[in-house]
Amino acid sequence: MEKDRLKSKILTLTRIADLVGGQIQGDGRVELSGAAPFETAAGDEITYAENAKLLRKIDATDAGAVIVPKDFDGTGKTLLKVGNPKVAFAKVLEILYPRKQPPNGIHPGATIDQAFTCGKDVSIGPSVVIQDHVTVGDRVIIHPHVFIGAHVTIGDDTEVFPNVTILDRCRIGNRVVIHAGTVIGSDGFGFAPEGETYYKIPQVGIVQIDEDVEIGACNTIDRATFGKTWIQKGVKTDNLVMIAHNVTVGENTILVAQVGISGSVTIGKHVIIAGQAGIAGHITLEDGAIIGPQTGVVKSVAKNQVVSGTPERPHRKNIRIQHIIAQLPELKKTIETLEKRLEQIEMKQS
């Protein structure tokens, strides 16, 4: 059966090399109409190989061309040699499969209140609701069914996907992508005990998202009690991430799916928090820290430290602990056997 394919351009390898950079080994005239994984690529498709495992079996792929590290050699395949094969392949995908852009303009089905400031070449889809005193920059795309509260600002070249909610006074920077279903600026979880009930603490701060951030689908980013919840430049979040009030997420940090961050946490630059990890409130994760999957972090983590487990421990120590835990049934049997032998020895001596 023929592969299902997205509609793509047809380009020569020489043209692709011109667009993404790199050196061709082989026939630059080969025409490529798609891209595919290493194992399934066909003769009119391009793929990439960057690790030793794939490079060792490069002659097995049927791809018309392979993107490889610039120092790789030793095959008769047509190659595009680059500094970073994965990034180059991502750029090729953008070239071969250009996204369909919605038309510029404001759809008549959008509802826009007073004092709306709009840049040039903006696309606002049907059923979008924009409240008072919102400012939107140039080349912004707002997909259908987005709600934008009063006094929100959105920078240039930002894209907001369907069913996103951005609540009052939040600030969104340039080149930000916010995926479907995300809520930005919901109230932080603040309640004061009052006898047997709880009195809600007003959340009067904002959320600020700096430039070049990408927010996954169905994230929730709470506004601060005072001041701001701050997502700094270059942060990338996966789907289903929860960020509580007054959290600061440092530049170029990665938050993987189902991460939960409690209030007033400070996260440094280039931190990686793996899937389903939970971070307790009022602690600091310093620059370069790595938090393993399903880790429960209850105290601050030092710069460049790798931790895992619950509560968090140095990763290598946690691996040793998990190895011992897996042996507990056998260790229990051994202890019981030793106890019986000890009883027998004591009985003989008594």
For residue 245, indicate whether it is catalytic: yes
Asked if residues 190 and 172 have their Cβ atoms less than 8 Å apart, the reply is: no
Evaluate whether 228 touches 172 at the Cβ level (below 8 Å). Answer: no
Nearest to 207 by CA among 242, 231, 190: 231
Closest CA to 214 of 271, 185, 256: 256
The two structure tokens encoding residue 262: 């409690």
Q: CA-to-CA distance for 232 and 250, rounded, in angstroms?
A: 5
Answer whether 145's CB lies under 8 Å from 128's CB.
yes
Q: What tokens were used for 207?
A: 């959320």
Both structure tokens of 231: 């997502």
Q: Catalytic: which of 245, 270, 282, 315?
A: 245
Q: What are phi and psi of 196, to 5 degrees?
A: -95, 5
Question: Minimal CA–CA distance to 216: which of 187, 241, 188, 244?
Answer: 241
Q: Which tokens hold the place of 258?
A: 């189902």
What are the helix and strand counts (H, E) for the chain? 5, 40
Beta bridge partners of 124: 106, 142
Q: Where do we find the tokens 């440092």?
A: 250
CA angle at residue 327 from 324 to 330, to 5 degrees? 140
| Beta strand ranges found along 88-143 (DSSP E) | 105-106, 111-112, 117-118, 123-124, 129-130, 135-136, 141-142
Q: Are the C-beta atoms of 58 and 41 separated by less than 8 Å?
A: no
Q: Which residues are catalytic?
A: 245
